[in-house]
Chains A and B, each alone.
Chain A
Amino acid sequence: MSIARTLAIALLGLDGQVVEVEANLTNQTPEISLIGLPDTSLRESQHRIQSAVHNSGAALPRRRLVINLTPAGIPKHGTGFDLAIAVVSMVTSNLISAEAIAETVHLGELGLDGRLRPIPGILPAVRAALHRGVKRVVVPIANADEASLVNGIEVVPASSLNEVLRMYGADLPVLEYEPVRLTQVHNVTPVVGDDLQDVIGNSDAIQGAIVAAAGGHNLLLIGPPGSGKSMIAQRFTELLPDLSPEQALEASCLLSVAGVGGVTELQYRPPLVAPHHSATPVAMIGGGSATIRPGAAVMASHGVLFLDEATEFSRIALDSLRQPLESGKVRIHRARESVEYPAQFQLVLATNPCPCGNYSARGSECTCPVSVRRRYLARLSGPLLDRVDLRIHTHRVTTAELNRHAEERGMSTTDAQQRICEARERAAQRLAGTGWQRNAEIAGNWLRGEARLAKKQTRILDQALEAGRITMRGYDRILRVSWTLADLAGLSAPGEREIGQAIYLRQAV
């Protein structure tokens, strides 16, 4: 009886756990038994491995092979364990030595011909291997670029099982294969051409977008069709500064897990995710029966989740966003496992004011009955709207605005970015040591405690609260926005003017 061991990674969300792959040869007729909670695609690995080993010029032992994936209690998914199982089997047939593979993580799917095929989730898997103190990881050659994004661990790319076995000293004929390449690379090319300057009129909405970008506030745009809601929302992501290295790594890990294509470089630009309004709650936050895949809110992490025609989304889909908006995380529970994904996104909602779209539009008449109109915006539930700091009306362009736009352009994206960066820096300095980065994250009691403003400045707010026109939560939200306005204006604290403006920027609903 000989037991051989090597390592692989089981991913649960973005979290990876090192799995020991053990092989034991028993005195029974040839067969491969795979134990340790494999799913269907993992269970099928034995057929791929039998064929791949044969086509690599090697042979499986002529006894029953028991492969155990420990810890046996956590569920394992997918085809990424193929290489580890194949390599460990080759120890039992005395082709390679047990010491050579014991401390190395092996990742990759095997084709029947013995070539190594790319798998999703390489980036988080390699990162997990590094965190667990693994020194070396063997990956399919198509995933080599992605694996190399993690520093501090030796990455060995290989194109076939034959190559891996020969690397470990197996006496096999050299077989040349055409290496499997990535079929699709997730490109991180920056969007060119959409400039904030293209937006005509709508100065409120432009200011709202700049404030939202500077302070990390959620934004709601209400306006008739053709008033530039989508135009502003699409330019919004460009206003945001580049991600920090940790954020970029997390965003890239999510792309890797989602399997939308290979990741070959870190994604430093904030992502924009715009799901269609027919999206289900599962599409929104994530789910699925076999592997738990990340949803739109998760993919928008560190970026923007843009819901166009927000009122057309189902109520459950919209309300499924409340948990991530509050905690910045999504937790999905299944009978056997529960997965946590990051979901720190900025929410941008756009909607018509009523079903016909013409309410409040100049020159056209709304045909909706009052009750229908009222119900329309009520589809955005109170708790959801409560988390949206900025609520702004957009308007259709007038000829006067068009003429003015021809003569003098508004603020360009580059200029706006500059202002936003400066404002963020000011906020970061002020918030140093608190753990908060942006104004939108600040807790209310801090605003009313340590960062308390003079009575004189908050007078209008206090009166509104007294009269019941705003809630306590609304009070805090207005304060947050006014701090962002102060940061943008270069002031040390918001004054009456900023508070007045903050109230104005949330009064559309």
Chain B
Amino acid sequence: MNRNRELGTQGEALAAQFLIGRGFALIAQNWRCASGEIDLIMHEGNELVFVEVKTRRSMAYGDPLEAVDAEKLARLHRLAAEWMREHHIRARYRIDVLGIILAAATEPQIEHIRGVGL
């Protein structure tokens, strides 16, 4: 579990760096509440972006993107609403998913889906 946590943290750092490189601004990282956690909260232009990062060492257990299913997506929407309520923010928002393959031998591969489910 510890190793997985470590991989996750590594992936999230990589994701933040990747998105900042594309002109996103970081608002918060690993925001937690009673019902769960949002990996990255960023904004791009005038839009809020809630980012879910999935990191795996290889495709052997399937595409990391596949792990974000409809149920997970619904939870992300609930969490986004909760975050905005807590911070008294009303804004356009979307959910992005980043799938990262972090293999020891090769460069990390990042797949970015913008505005999932739209």
Contacts and interface: CB of A to CB of B under 8 A. Distances in A.
Contact of B111 (A27, A28, A31, A62): A62
* Size bracket, chain A contacts: under 10
Contacts of B117: 27-28
A28 B66 CA distance: 9
Contacts of A63: 113
Interface of B: 63, 65-69, 73, 97, 99, 111, 113-118
Contacts of B113: 27-29, 63
A27 B63 contact: no
Given A29-B68, A29-B69, A29-B73, 9 more contacts: A27-B113, A27-B116, A28-B113, A29-B65, A29-B97, A29-B116, A31-B66, A62-B65, A62-B111
Nearest to A50: B62
Contacts of A29: 65-69, 73, 97, 113, 116
Contacts of A62: 63, 65, 99, 111
A27 B94 CA distance: 12
Nearest to B97: A29
A62 B99 CA distance: 10
A29 B98 CA distance: 10
28 contacts: A27-B113, A27-B114, A27-B115, A27-B116, A27-B117, A27-B118, A28-B113, A28-B116, A28-B117, A29-B65, A29-B66, A29-B67, A29-B68, A29-B69, A29-B73, A29-B97, A29-B113, A29-B116, A30-B63, A30-B65, A30-B66, A31-B66, A31-B69, A62-B63, A62-B65, A62-B99, A62-B111, A63-B113
A28 B74 CA distance: 13
A89 to B, nearest CB: 14
Most buried by B among A27, A28, A31, A63: A28
Contacts of B116: 27-29
Contacts of B114: 27
B117 to A, nearest CB: 6
A30 B67 CA distance: 9
Nearest to B73: A29
Most buried by B among A27, A30, A62, A63: A30
B55 to A, nearest CB: 15
A247 B117 CA distance: 54
A27 B96 CA distance: 10
Contacts of A27: 113-118
A63 B65 CA distance: 8
Contacts of B99: 62
Interface string A2-44: 0000000000000000000000000111110000000000000
B101 to A, nearest CB: 11
A357 B18 CA distance: 91
A29 B71 CA distance: 12
A29 B118 CA distance: 11
B95 to A, nearest CB: 10
B15 to A, nearest CB: 15
Contacts of B73: 29
Contacts of B66: 29-31
A296 to B, nearest CB: 48
Interface in A33-70: 62-63
Nearest to A31: B66
Contacts of A28: 113, 116-117
A63 B99 CA distance: 11
A72 to B, nearest CB: 22
* Nearest 5 A/B pairs, CB to CB: A29-B68, A29-B65, A30-B66, A30-B65, A30-B63
A28 B115 CA distance: 8
A50 to B, nearest CB: 9
Interface in A341-359: none
A463 B67 CA distance: 88
Interface in A180-195: none
B28 to A, nearest CB: 23
A27 B66 CA distance: 13
